[in-house]
Homo-oligomer: A and B are copies of this chain.
Amino acid sequence: MKIYGDSISGNCLKVKWVADLLGRRYEWVETSVLQSESRTPAFLAMNPAGQVPAVILDDGRPLAQSNAIILHLAEGSALIPADAYDRARMLEWMFWEQYSHEPYVAVARFQVRFLGKPVADLEPRLVERGTAALQRLEDGLAQSPFLVGASVSLADVALVAYTREAGDGGFDLARYPNVQAWIGRVERALKIAT
């Protein structure tokens, strides 16, 4: 398998973490978004959406979208709950991540850390919605160690990727103690170097 990814992208790291945890062999092809390497003709032929991560599977077929890739790689593993309802809740978190968390928490971090924008100049909408997303996570983790029950799942992989970097976008993680403790639990469960 080849993983086309940018090491500064949480979406790309999701794929790396799952592949590493499952012991999948792969070649990492560093693909810089800032240098538009995901917009070259060769890249667009593989993923017309022009986004990283994208993978070429062992049989040569392409696949894109971080959450679709990790769902495919992790099929049959303990990262996907066996129970149908738990699986549905995992998917609920994963779709919510892409719609209501990543566009705010990840975008704020990108603008501050990689484009040099001062936190005070962030669009108010990014800050408000990012804050709401973090509060929703805080509430969701009040009763349970992981997002779906007692063990780590792809919901945690998807949500931890940018949540652990939220401080870089000006969000104060100290205001979310459940989230802070969960980040540590997920990093240990996924064996992510910190």
Contact = CB atoms under 8 A, between A and B. Distances in A.
A68 interface: yes
A72 interface: yes
B92 A64 contact: yes
Interface residues of A, number: 33
Nearest to A55: B88
Nearest to A71: B91
Contacts of A120: none
B91 A67 contact: yes
A95 B68 contact: yes
Contacts of A75: 84
A79 to B, nearest CB: 15
B65 A96 contact: yes
21 contacts: A48-B136, A48-B139, A51-B100, A61-B85, A63-B85, A63-B89, A64-B96, A65-B92, A65-B95, A68-B88, A68-B89, A68-B94, A69-B92, A72-B84, A72-B87, A72-B91, A95-B95, A98-B98, A99-B99, A99-B102, A99-B103
